[in-house]
Amino acid sequence: MAIRGSSAGGYSVLAALTFTDTFKAGASLYGIGDLSALAEDTHKFESRYCDQLIGAYPKEKPLYDARSPINHIEKLNCPVIFLQGLEDKVVPPNQAEAMVDALYQKNIPVAYVTFENEGHGFRQAHNIQYAIDVEYAFYANIFSLSPTATLTTVPFVTQALTQTVRQALNEQTKSEKP
């Protein structure tokens, strides 16, 4: 069984994959992996969002850290695909990149798909369709499905996310999109 979610739902995906053994794969769309980093790095409009859910930051930083999947990466042991808008000011790309790097270091299959000119949520029709296609292809790959249609190439991460690798993944994603 797989789990997927976006934004706070993306956090729920990462938390469920980290703190339970219920799922075999997940998709995090512009999700949160590090609550403390989010509290320090999100834009002004969202800057107090977590205060209502977790507690005042930085006073409750230990609670933020305890609930952050990135701090318990040793417990996350299944494949994950991350889909992220590069212009996202609500949940910045560094949230996905930290999780991708950590999973790569553990040799867990991880895919990272970025979208230029997209922020928090995808708005362009071709990007929405590509996100659906690549997520489906990810599940087909992970669960050894035999679909009848030709699948989109899944950009699995095969090396640490240096700036060069980030650019190459972005170029690969651009070349796959219709």
Q: Which of 34, 88, 101, 133 is catalytic?
A: 88
Q: Does 72 qualify as catalytic in the annotation? A: no
Given a contact cutoff of 8 angstroms between Cβ atoms, the answer to whether 30 and 83 are in contact is yes
Spatial distance between the Cα atoms of 45 and 75, rounded to a whole number of angstroms: 32
**Side chain identity, residue 14:** L
> CA dist 149 to 9, 136, 152, 163, Å?
29, 11, 10, 34
Taking residue 28's Cβ as centre, other Cβ atoms within 10 Å add up to 30
Find out whether 46 and 36 touch, Cβ atoms under 8 Å: no
Q: Which of 12, 34, 120, 133 is catalytic?
A: 120
Q: Dump strand ranges (E) for 53-174.
A: 80-85, 110-115
* Dihedrals phi, psi of 124, to nearest 5 degrees: -80, 130
| Active-site annotation holds for 7 | yes
Residues with a catalytic annotation lie at 7, 88, 120
